[in-house]
Homo-oligomer: A and B are copies of this chain.
Amino acid sequence: MNGVGAHEVVVETPRHEETLVTLPLKNVKNILLAYRDRIIDLRRDPRLRHVLVFKNHGVAAGASLEHSHSQIIALPIVPKRVTEEIEGAKTYFHYKDRCVFCDIIRQELQQKHRIITENRFFVSIAPFASRFPFETWILPKTHSPDFEHMEVSQYEHAAQILSETLNRMNRVLTDPPYNYVIHTSSSPEIDADHYHWHIEIMPKLTKVAGFEWGTGFYINPTPPEEAAEYMREAK
């Protein structure tokens, strides 16, 4: 491993007062397409092993700039957390012969307790083992290991559910600080069967403290069923 990498900032709007919550759908779609284009381009460099797309919104979530932006970091190694998640999904696949995320989606759509919203191609849920209050995952209903190879029309549906989810979160929590991270495979050919890309949104309402640092476990005072109900009911 050498010290190469890339760090890019996606300026989401020219207007300082706008955010992902207020931007028209068309602009949110263009942001997602910018992520896609940059991922595809950065993947061309064989020294870069993983491309991470994330957003920090609000000071408590680590945003050092107020102007609405997201970040793309390309790394010369596959990160620890990415490997753990993909290995976990692989273990499940070997055991069940099904994708764990497909199974989660099927079960959540049946039970409905933790569904926040859905459209034709995506579903937004409060995950069963939420680490944070109002943690939210957006998953494509159709199995796919990576974010960057969808049909163009699907980015429109992704933009719609991301915008709607953030708008609901905003109404319930009044402009909360949050991070989101796009979880996507850096080897979609290898991970084709067992990995399923998705977006994890983490509002920062609680503090990570000694217990979390010492264990890797998270204390979450808000059950996901309650969080999902609040989010569903938000107008």
Say yes or no: A54 contacts B211, CB within 8 Å: yes
Residue of B with least CB distance to A214 = B181
Interface residue A95 (Cβ < 8 Å from any Cβ of B): no
* Contact-residue size bin, chain A (C-beta under 8 Å from the other chain): 20 to 34
Establish whether residues A181 and B52, one from each chain, have CB atoms under 8 Å apart when the complex forms. no
Report the separation of the CA atoms of residues A200 and B214 in the bound assembly, to the nearest whole angstrom: 9
CB pair A81 B207 closer than 8 Å? no
A117 at the interface (CB under 8 A from B): no
A79-B216, A80-B217, A217-B80 known; A61-B211 Cβ under 8 A:
no
Report the copy number of this chain in the oligomer: 2
A200 to nearest B CB, angstroms?
8
Choose among B73, B179, B202, B215 the residue that contacts A52 (Cβ–Cβ < 8 A). Answer: B215
Partner of A213, one of B59, B181, B207: B181
Q: Which residues of B contact A71 (CB under 8 A)?
A: 210-211
Question: In the bound complex, do residue A82 and residue B215 qualify as a contact, i.e. CB atoms below 8 Å apart?
Answer: yes
Contact A209 B62 (CB under 8 A): yes
Enumerate the 8 nearest inter-chain pairs by beta-carbon distance, A residue then B residue, closest first: A62-B209, A54-B210, A79-B215, A62-B207, A80-B216, A81-B216, A181-B214, A179-B210
